[in-house]
Structure 1
Amino acid sequence: MVVKSEDGRELRSFKFKDEAEGQEVRAVERRILLETLANQLPSDAIRFSSKVAKIEKNENGETSLQLLDGTQILAKVLIGCDGIRSPIAKWMGFTEPRYVGHCAFRGLGFYPNGQPFDPKVNYIYGKGLRAGYVPVSPTKVYWFICFNSSSPGQKIIDPSVLKNEAQKMIKGWPSELLNIIDLTPDDTIIRTPLVDRWLWPVVSPSGSTSGVVLVGDAWHPMTPNLGQGACCALEDAVVLSRKLADALEVGPASLDDALSSYCKERWTRVFPLTIRANLVGALLQWENPVVCTVRNSIIIPKLVKLGPLLEHTNFNCEPLERRGNRFPIN
């Protein structure tokens, strides 16, 4: 891991073997991850482009879903893992995620003949502006630019405009970052406002109710400052799967208890992480020149320790065991 200032000066270089043995950072392209997971399912198990129009509970306690195309689905257990704008979360009483005051450009630089970078994370810090890049494959490099903004701004979908804005924002920064953006295909560059939702005890709705449960960003959207959003969603999936498998061995009547147990267990993990990610982002987005000078000359070079910095990644949810379903659920 390498940290630089906006003028390209190296502030600190970390080696895991020296400062946090056993730790590692792995960057995975989201598309590859999703395809890998989907390929483990039967070919007809996933219905794409199927937005939920209406959710109701029937007299048998089942959840009825009506899709925009008119299709109706009945489910004994409904798992809402439909992202930060989840209609299922809204139906359960959750508020919209809160804008945190930062936006981000993100993209994938493409090097058809092979990318030239070492397998490490590179961060560049400016004033109210930061960026980073990391290889995700032999030919692709993920990059981001995070900047302060008083409002989310208008949605821009023209990739040429997005690329131009991103490059203007970091004009004069290290050339390798500008080159990565230059080599970013139009269909991979996005600009999004950063949002989160703090699951305050008592105040926030439960993550499960009457056979309906939330997973990932639908329940606990967090800012990407710790790189744990997708990781937590995968953790959710493993823990929930185990709870459901245990419940099915007892009988369908125990399903709600299983969902409630999942929420209690996961809340202790995701609530602190959401807050921590938010606070880390606020600190990294400092604009004050004096504070940024202290950060670059003292905090990063002398005070930051890699082990505590990555402590939040130390979570072991144990592998899942294959089990037969005695009580199939939809």
Structure 2
Amino acid sequence: MENHEDVDIVIVGAGLAGLTTALALHRLGLRSLVLESSESLRTTGFALTIWTNAWRALDAVGIGDSLRLKSTQMKGFKIASPDTGLFTSEQALDKDGKFKGYESRCVRRKDLLEALVDELPPSTVRYSSKVANIEELDRFKLVHLADGSILKAKVLIGCDGVKSVVAKWLGLGAPVRVGRSAIRGLVEFPNGSGLDPMFHVNFGGGVRFGFVPVDEKSVYWFFTFTPSQVPSYEEDWKENPMKMKQFILSRINKMPQHAQDVVEKTSLSSISIAPLKFRLPWNILFGNIVKDNVTVAGDALHPMTPDIGQGGCSSLEDSVVLGRCLGEAFLNKSNEEDDEFERIKKGLEKYGKERRWRSFSLISVAYCVGFIQESKGILMTYFRKAWFSSYTPSAFLKMANYDCGNLVS
């Protein structure tokens, strides 16, 4: 066989799931190698809202408190009427006893990724390392890189997003488009935004718009819509991105001025657009999310729509559970009848069992919530007004009321 490098654990992708998994393993005294195809850390994406379940995961890997210092805690929800655009419904988290213990903050993606990298040994992430092919050699996995080098791994973990090479190797179906797109932005208010520390959201009539303060001066916002509302939008907006901003403003023109200012004052360089994709839920239930010493985590496992804010949060859960299961496999040698590969296989099967139904539930609930929030029609509009607007906070919080546990069981 050609020259190769022996590595116990190879993680493909230095995104949220990949770096958190590497840190979880590092906390347990296990070394891993993270392969990143980019030349440097990818800090695009602006920000993400981190809910209770994800803060528990961040605390488990030891970086929760440092991130809390850079973000404002949300005190509840403000929901706007789709008819008037005015914020007419409010759900406080700090005053309602049934929501005691819930935590929600919006964190810059850059801050989160850098916090993870700063806690890892310097040689953990290897940049400009694109995976070209995966082969098997006995019970090892040979990871061929585009530069011709080969890694011989005892464990291979795919954290390489919706276009995951590892997920494809496992035979998981490719994620599919849901027929909606998302525009996201981050705006800076030099003198302070003056916004309440609340999760502001408005939905109905085929769109969903919301914004969340990151800190006193920064606000993260999102806008999802059906592309059929804007024929040939991709070509028009690429040539003139100002049209994208004008489209959003035309759809939120009934909202209070401070809500419109969030979009109006965002620079075009701080706005991005992408089609929404998700993995079909039955792929999660019946597909191979684990095969011997190979598995996937994060968006490589459960890409979902952003309608309950759990995409990044669930990736953090994955990492803690995966770290714990691999820690048991590598460090617990009490059962001498099992060799190391058998322990790894059992550990990953345990991870898969724990994450399969959780991933299925998150994908399904997110899709249904988004479908109901943005659908048109008299019946659906009545349904939203009569019941769903008040149910929205509960949908968010119910899915966030989850504890992935600590790194050591």
**Same fold per TM (> 0.5)?**
yes
Asked whether 1:9 is paired with 2:86, we answer yes
Give 1:3 shift.
0.5
Instruction: Map residues 178-257 of structure 1 onto 2, 5 A cutoff.
Output: 178-200=260-282, 204-248=286-330, 249-250=332-333, 252-253=340-341, 254-257=343-346
Post-superposition CA distance 1:96-123 (Å, at most 9, x none): 1121121111111112332221211001
Asked whether 1:82 is paired with 2:160, we answer yes
Give 1:138 shift.
2.5
Q: Which of 121, 130, 146 is residue 224 of structure 2 equivalent to? A: 146
8 Å contact kept, 2:187–2:267:
yes
Give 1:145 shift.
0.6
Q: Which amino acid aligns with 1:83?
A: G
Q: Which of 357, 364, 377 is residue 288 of structure 1 equivalent to? A: 377
8 Å contact kept, 1:104–1:146:
yes
8 Å contact kept, 1:115–1:141:
yes
Post-superposition CA distance 1:61-81 (Å, at most 9, x none): 222222233333221111101
Q: Quote the Cα distance in structure 2 between the aligned partners of 1:142 and 1:9.
A: 19
Q: Which amino acid aligns with 1:100?
A: V
Q: Quote the Cα distance in structure 2 between the aligned partners of 1:45 and 1:135.
A: 33
Aligned length: 319
Question: What percent of counterpart residues are identical?
Answer: 35
Instruction: Map residues 129-144 of structure 1 onto 2, 5 A cutoff.
Output: 129-144=207-222
Q: Quote the Cα distance in structure 1 between the aligned partners of 2:192 and 2:128.
A: 34
Q: Quote the Cα distance in structure 2 between the aligned partners of 1:266 and 1:208.
A: 11
Post-superposition CA distance 1:165-206 (Å, at most 9, x none): 433443444322331123323343111111111342797321
TM-score normalised to structure 2 length: 0.71
Give 1:228 shift.
0.9
SS of the residue corresponding to residue 286 of structure 2 reads: coil
Q: Which amino acid aligns with 1:174?
A: P
Unaligned segments of structure 2, at least 5 residues? 1-76, 334-338
More displaced, 228-237 or 286-295?
A: 286-295
Q: Quote the Cα distance in structure 2 between the aligned partners of 1:173 and 1:314.
A: 31
Q: Which of 142, 149, 152 is residue 64 of structure 1 equivalent to? A: 142
More displaced, 177-186 or 111-120?
A: 177-186
Q: Which amino acid aligns with 2:207?
A: L
Give 1:286 shift.
1.8
Runs of 4+ in 1 over 6 A off after TM superposition: none
Q: Which of 114, 139, 142 is residue 192 of structure 2 equivalent to? A: 114
More displaced, 147-156 or 234-243?
A: 147-156
Asked whether 1:269 is paired with 2:358, we answer yes
8 Å contact kept, 1:101–1:152:
no
More displaced, 149-158 or 194-203?
A: 149-158
